[in-house]
Amino acid sequence: MISVPVILSVMFLGGVLAWLANRFVPKGASWTAAIIAAFAGYLVFALPSCGGEYTLALGSITLVWKSTNYSALFAMLVAVLGFLGILYSMDFMAGKKNLGYYYMNFLFALGAMLGIVYSQDLVSLFFFWEVMTWSSFMLVIYSGEEKSHKAGIKYFAYSAIGAYLILSAIVILYAQSNSFLLSENVKMFSGMSLGTQIMVISFLALGFGVKSAMMPLHVWAPEAYKESPSGFTAVFSGALSKMGIFGLGLVVFKFAANTEFFVYVRETLAWLGGLTAMLATFYAVIQSDAKKLLAYSSIGQLGYIIVGLALGTPLGIMAALFLTIMHGAFKAMLFMSAGAVYMRTGTTSLDDVSGLITKMPLTFLTALFGIISVAGIPPLGGFISKWMLYQALLETNHYFLIIVIFIASTAAFLYLYRFIFSLFLGQREKEFEHVKEVPWSMLVPMMLLTLFVLVAGVFPGLVLDPIGKAMGYLGNFKASWEPQVVFSAWGEKINMQVIAGTIGTIFILGALFIGFKNRKATRVVSTKDIHTAGEIPTENENLTYAVNFNQPFERAIAPILKWSVDKLFNLLGENLESTFEYLRYVYTGNGQTYAMYVILMVVILILFSGSIFGIHL
Amino acid sequence: MDSSTWLKILGYIITPITAFVVGVTYGGIVRVITARVQNRFGPPITQNFWDIIKLYSKKTAVHHGLMQHWGPVFAITASVTSLFFIPVLKDSPLWLNNSFNGDIIFLLYMMVFGSLGMALGAGQTGNPNSAIGVARGLALMVGYEVPFVLALVAIMIQFKTTSIAELMAVQDGFSNWLIFQSPFAFIAAILAFLGMMHYAPFDVTFAPAEIASGPASEFGGKYLALMQTSGSIFTFAKLVLFTDIFLGGAGDLVTLIVKTFLLYMIPVLTGIVNPRYRTEQAITFFWKWPTVFGIIAILIVVL
């Protein structure tokens, strides 16, 4: 019998098992973790057909776990990316220290994410939310270096603020409805006072906004993504940040939809999302580290998702959820290829690495499909989400927001090209002569995801079917699509069969022509054999153009960056930094201290809940 | 197969050929016009044909890796696919191709496909000038995309459609052309068009005297031939797109050629008499007056 507790126990007990395995069997942790993740993944996919609700009464609190269509969508994303992330980690992490710790926290994070999406009550939602934050924090500080500790503390501090906001919202809700059940609270929400409604919605939106790295709450993300091991970063950006989106979806369509100020909530979120998308893209353009670049790109892409959700039309939500899945796939691909480069060269700096395409062709192919998908170029999956998003923006009369989104997605070409050019193209340098392709266990996840973005692009209906069901959970949303055709509310359509067919046919014809014409006389030359106006470059002459790659664009947007960075964010940042100096006395970076805080918090809640909130647990 | 299928197949064959012939001829005419302005005699109009034929018949071909090998294939894929999704002539089944299966938003992204493939190919050559050219080209694209999209959004929300065929349908008389119905959108779009065509003052990407033709500098023989073929087809595709959107499209080939030629002369003549901008100047140019015109165009529709 497959049920939610079974899946959760497999994940959590599996985590402990992986930790134990590491102590007794060499390589035991990675194999255990991979088997556990695969098994749990199978259970997640089998669960929806079993259905069923699991209830657990703990005193006056009732915990309810159930798989809804909405949670099934996110659970599948978590399960697939989690398994692929662990598979990727097997060789990526091989030979590193503390593998038991790594896989245990990895599986805990996956289990917690599944717990979040299956929770039908606020207590278990919050509990799993905390477990997720903790285990991901442990993985951010995995390397144990000073930088990772700094990134980890920043991440934890922001997450803690977010978590306390969510907790406050839960307490406020409980005080009004006397129930922790999600369905009960949703039912009674429209009857609550305006002040309560505003407080609950803003607290929840901010709390979930932290995880989805919505500006200006994104500060933790670039560092945390950069410092965490790449196998986990793929899941971190691909699935874990989507928990914020999961929560925002509930806030917008379950809570805010029943209020009178629904339209303001949506507009605020839409503009926050749009500005996040644009500014994060600009920041991504000026990064010189591959993982930081991808981190900012991730923030920007989540901005699009928030815009789509906030539009509130069937097409908008469909675009958001489609992008949620696609972003999970293509950002995992990009983080994995960045990780592969890191494994072989020891750096992710875009200024240092170059010309790896001949050494790591399959990694390059993954990165290529990844960037084409992020850029939204047909016929890959990213394009369909972009198309739906623009159609949704047009049909809801967001004339200026659509411009912001367009700027963001055009500027994205700059950083995407920089990413692939700096790492894989350009001059082949001698110091990378020894570089080899990564082992199969890392290539398999990358190749599977590559295949997925291609299939999802040509047959969007495959992904839209579960999304359509998930939309049914959020409200009465109807959108129309066929396996290969997507329609907009204005009656426009894109026919992926024709599009992919045309592109494929012409490309193959062109490739045949270029391949067979004068095949014998075609030869490959080295990257030193280039047009340099008569000067012959010597063997050791450095002709790589990588440092300050996007300088022209940087100069052009200097006024914008200056205005926003210097005047706004720096001021905010400096103030926050000095606040954090004090916070460091609280957040010591020591796990035991944090455990003590949680216990203290619970004690305070139990002791004073009556006098503060008027509730008696 | 019935006659309509045969007509369709014939359309797929003659559309790119026409686009190629017209595009290359335009290229030849531009060379003559440029020469006359500079007080030279200039090559014959057919010169570009001979150049391309010569390149196709070259035996040796040199490349730096598979990505460069396939770069021109990406380019020709993008230009021919874009062309297939643009209605070339109004109400003629022979020239419609796939235009009912995609829309303006699709075309915006499809057009980038070729640039990206070219950029990847140029990147693999390892020539620093190519990389510089690509960085400039992509940055310039962010520049002109802003007024261009503002103009398109203004039109799309005015007629509540993103389909080119439907936009052509609403322009059924001379006075209904969108150039007269929404003049500000046209101004914004045509200014963006200057950047899109890469003529001076916006020729930062290829800048022959500065970065040795940038992205194209390492391509020769069959690669350059395919790229020039693709470039000619792409030029024609862009011209037809603008004609369809703003000048009411065309019912027959002669009208189409007159309209596209007049449209083409705008960037060409601007280019002949202008020096080159620096890249950041070229980008910020589009964020000033063209953007203002675009915003006015949207405000007119909304208010």
Q: Give contacts of A550 with chain B, Cβ < 8 Å.
A: 135, 139
What's the CA gap between A532 and A530, in Å, rounded?
Answer: 6
For residues B233 and A584, which has the higher predicted lDDT (pLDDT)?
Answer: B233
Q: What is the mean pLDDT of residues A370-383?
A: 86
- Confirm or reject contact between B276 and chain A (CB < 8 A): no
What's the CA gap between B226 and A95, in Å, rounded?
Answer: 49
- Cα separations (Å) of A178 from A119, A123, A129, A181, A611? 18, 13, 21, 9, 16
B38-90 confidence digits (pLDDT tens)? 889 889 888 888 988 888 888 878 888 888 888 889 899 999 988 888 888 87
Q: What is the mean pLDDT of residues B256-283?
A: 87
A170-221 confidence digits (pLDDT tens)? 888 888 888 888 888 888 888 888 888 888 888 888 888 888 887 777 778 8
- B214 conformational bin, left if phi > 0, alpha if psi -120 to 50, beta if neither: left
For residues A365 and B207, which has the higher predicted lDDT (pLDDT)?
Answer: A365
Q: Nearest Cβ partner of B81 from A427, A503, A551?
A: A503
Place of tokens 């419609």: B96
Cβ under 8 Å to A: B residues 209-238: 212, 217-218, 221-223, 226
Cβ atoms of A15 and A104 within 8 Å: the answer is yes
Whole-model pTM? 0.89
Reported confidence tier of residue A487, pLDDT bands at 50, 70, 90: confident
Q: Taking 70 as the threshold, does the pLDDT of residue A615 lie above it? A: no
Q: Provide the residue count of chain B.
A: 303
User: Cβ contact (<8 Å) for A510 and B76?
Assistant: yes
Q: Nearest Cβ partner of A414 from B105, B142, B287?
A: B142
For residues A128 and A475, which has the higher predicted lDDT (pLDDT)?
Answer: A128
Burial class of residue A77 in the structure, from the number of CB atoms within 10 Å of its CB (0-12 exposed, 13-18 middle, 19+ buried): buried
Q: Give contacts of B109 with chain A, Cβ < 8 Å.
A: 375-378, 383, 386-387
User: Cβ contact (<8 Å) for B126 and A406?
Assistant: no
Q: Nearest Cβ partner of B112 from A394, A413, A555?
A: A413
B140-170 as b/e: b if 16+ CB within 10 A: bbbbbbbbbbbbbbbbbbbbebbbbbbbbee
User: Cβ contact (<8 Å) for A556 and B125?
Assistant: no
User: Cβ contact (<8 Å) for B63 and A525?
Assistant: yes
User: Cβ contact (<8 Å) for B77 and A407?
Assistant: no
Cβ under 8 Å to A: B residues 134-153: 134-136, 138-139, 141-143, 145-146, 149-150, 153
Q: Give contacts of B160 with chain A, Cβ < 8 Å.
A: 490
User: Cβ contact (<8 Å) for B146 and A406?
Assistant: yes
Tell me, what amino acid is at B167? L
For residues A574 and A613, which has the higher predicted lDDT (pLDDT)?
Answer: A574
Q: How much is the pLDDT for A269? A: 86
Minimal C-alpha gap between A421 and chain B (Å): 6
Q: Mean pLDDT in chain A?
A: 83
Q: How much is the pLDDT for B136? A: 87
Q: How many CB atoms lie within 10 A of CB B98?
A: 20
What's the CA gap between A17 and A29, in Å, rounded?
Answer: 8
Q: A291: closest CA among B208, A436, A299?
A: A299
Minimal C-alpha gap between B268 and chain A (Å): 25
Q: How much is the pLDDT for A573? A: 64
Packing angle, helices A99-118 and A4-24, rounded to 10: 180
For residues A75 and A572, which has the higher predicted lDDT (pLDDT)?
Answer: A75
Q: Nearest Cβ partner of B77 from A387, A410, A510?
A: A510
Minimal C-alpha gap between A603 and chain B (Å): 55
Question: Among the listed ranges A279-283, A335-339, A554-558, A611-615, which one has the minimum average pLDDT value?
Answer: A611-615
Tell me, what amino acid is at B243? T
Q: Taking 80 as the threshold, does the pLDDT of residue A533 lie above it? A: no
Cβ atoms of A587 and A581 within 8 Å: the answer is no
Q: How much is the pLDDT for A583? A: 64
Q: Nearest Cβ partner of A357 from B77, B124, B127?
A: B124
Cβ atoms of B285 and B277 within 8 Å: the answer is yes
Reported confidence tier of residue A448, pLDDT bands at 50, 70, 90: very high
Q: Nearest Cβ partner of B123 from A426, A495, A529?
A: A426
Minimal C-alpha gap between A95 and chain B (Å): 34
Cβ atoms of B120 and A368 within 8 Å: the answer is yes
DSSP-derived letter for residue A349 is B
Q: Give contacts of B98 with chain A, Cβ < 8 Å.
A: 498-499, 502
B126-139 confidence digits (pLDDT tens)? 788 888 888 888 88
Q: Residue B38 is part of which domain span?
A: 3-302
User: Cβ contact (<8 Å) for B106 and A387?
Assistant: yes
Q: Nearest Cβ partner of A499 from B102, B143, B204?
A: B102
Residue A65 — φ and ψ, nearest 5°? -120, 135
Q: Nearest Cβ partner of A556 from B61, B139, B221?
A: B139
Share of chain A above pLDDT 90, in %: 4
B219-246 confidence digits (pLDDT tens)? 888 888 888 899 899 989 989 888 888 8
Cβ under 8 Å to A: B residues 84-143: 84-85, 98, 101-103, 105-106, 109-110, 112-113, 116, 119-120, 123-129, 131-132, 134-136, 138-139, 141-143
Q: Taking 70 as the threshold, does the pLDDT of residue B159 lie above it? A: yes
Quickly list DSSP for A394-458: HHTT-HHHHHHHHHHHHHHHHHHHHHHHHHHSSPPPGGGTT--PPPHHHHHHHHHHHHHHHHHHH
Tally of domains within chain B: 1
CA A554 to chain CA centroid, Å, is: 26
Q: What is the mean pLDDT of residues A5-13?
A: 84
Q: Give contacts of A421 with chain B, Cβ < 8 Å.
A: 119-120, 123, 131, 134
Question: Among the listed ranges A225-239, A327-341, A512-526, B75-89, which one has the minimum average pLDDT value?
Answer: A512-526
E strand or H helix at B62, and its extent? strand B61-63
- Confirm or reject contact between B208 and chain A (CB < 8 A): no
User: Cβ contact (<8 Å) for A553 and B142?
Assistant: yes
User: Cβ contact (<8 Å) for A523 and B162?
Assistant: no
Instruction: Choose the mutation target among A506, A535, A544 for the interface with B, i.e. most B CBs under 10 Å.
Output: A506
ipTM for the complex shown: 0.90
Half-sphere exposure of A544 (CA within 13 A, CB side): 24
Minimal C-alpha gap between A166 and chain B (Å): 39
Q: Give contacts of B151 with chain A, Cβ < 8 Å.
A: none
For residues A383 and B6, which has the higher predicted lDDT (pLDDT)?
Answer: A383
End-to-end CA distance of chain B: 52
Half-sphere exposure of A245 (CA within 13 A, CB side): 34
Reported confidence tier of residue A451, pLDDT bands at 50, 70, 90: very high
Q: Taking 80 as the threshold, does the pLDDT of residue B108 lie above it? A: yes
Nearest CA in chain A to B222: A514
- Cβ within 8 Å of residue A428, ≥6 positions away: A354, A355, A358, A526, A527, B126
- Confirm or reject contact between B49 and chain A (CB < 8 A): no
Nearest CA in chain A to B120: A421
